[in-house]
Structure 1
Amino acid sequence: MLVLDCPFCGPRNESEFAYGGPALAPRPADPSAVSDADWVDWLTVPPNPMGEVEERWWHLRGCGAWLTVRRHTVTHAVTEVRLGR
């Protein structure tokens, strides 16, 4: 089980949080310049690398803050937790 260190509430069990998905790159400035296939991939295919990823977590059963968490997908070691994006 993950322990996430909320900046407001301190270390908390992952059961207090709701997973919000991967922290994605911003939408393209001009979506019409992106191919249909690339746009569908950006919208529907989440990255799933082995190694560090950035994810969004909502402290649902706590302060309500949205956090960006850097986590290793193999070891589940959390290396960074910050507010927002």
Structure 2
Amino acid sequence: MIKMRLPDYEVIIHIQYDSLGKKLEDQILLETKPYELDESTEYQGRKDYHWSFKTWEEAVLAGSILKKYCQNPNLLLLKVKTNKTNEKPIVYKG
């Protein structure tokens, strides 16, 4: 049996996946190259990404770096969250 485990800290992005969304995806993937991509799924014209981090501070920093994309209408969600501690999620867009 495979046990699925949520990362302790993560940054989540949802993109409207059309031609403009693909350009946004390219920009975001270039920006997030140093981070550990935990999961990516495409469904119903959307694509989501989940990056995992070892500390809350690392996740918050990554979210802060990515918030410059919030003005793009193809970015539907940008959230920093924890599955380990009591910090409240940071929702930059959603």
More helix by share: 2
Larger Rg: 1 or 2? 1
* Superposed pair shares fold, TM > 0.5: no
TM-score by length of 2: 0.29
TM-score by length of 1: 0.31
